[in-house]
Amino acid sequence: MTSQDSAPFDRVWRTELLAVIAHGSVDQATQALLSLTFDDPDGAWVESVLLDCLDGDFDDQVKLLALTCFGHLARIHGVIRNPRTVMQVKRMARVPGFEGRAQDALDDFETFL
């Protein structure tokens, strides 16, 4: 656990970003995902948001960025907590158009975990 993992967070800020991810434009949603990934201290919670993006009815650009963000989480926090994450990223590595980003995330897992 890093010192970031125990830092306080702003619930209103999270709620606003989740609303943008769910209802904003693709550009707004991707910016919100990046903000959560880089600025939210709770990597496990962000991981669950990213999983929701892969599972949900989101634009492919949002899903592609979610894959990239998994790699950032591994680098920033040094851990992936949800066992489903690696399984989902491996699944996405078999989906046409997502293979490269998913493999990049898997490579980041190998490097940083």
Give yes or no for a contact between 15 and 50, defined as CB atoms under 8 angstroms apart. no
Counts for the chain of helices (H) and strands (E), in that order: 6, 0
Domain that includes residue 77, residue range:
3-112
Per-residue pLDDT of the chain (113 residues; tens, 9 = 90+): 343 444 566 899 999 999 999 999 999 999 999 999 999 999 999 999 999 999 999 999 999 999 999 999 999 999 999 999 999 999 999 999 999 999 999 999 999 99
This prediction's pTM = 0.91
Q: Which residue has the tokens 């125990």?
A: 6
- Give how many domains the chain has, as a whole number: 1
From residue 79, give the alpha-carbon distance in Å to each of 3, 17, 69, 75, 109: 13, 23, 13, 8, 8
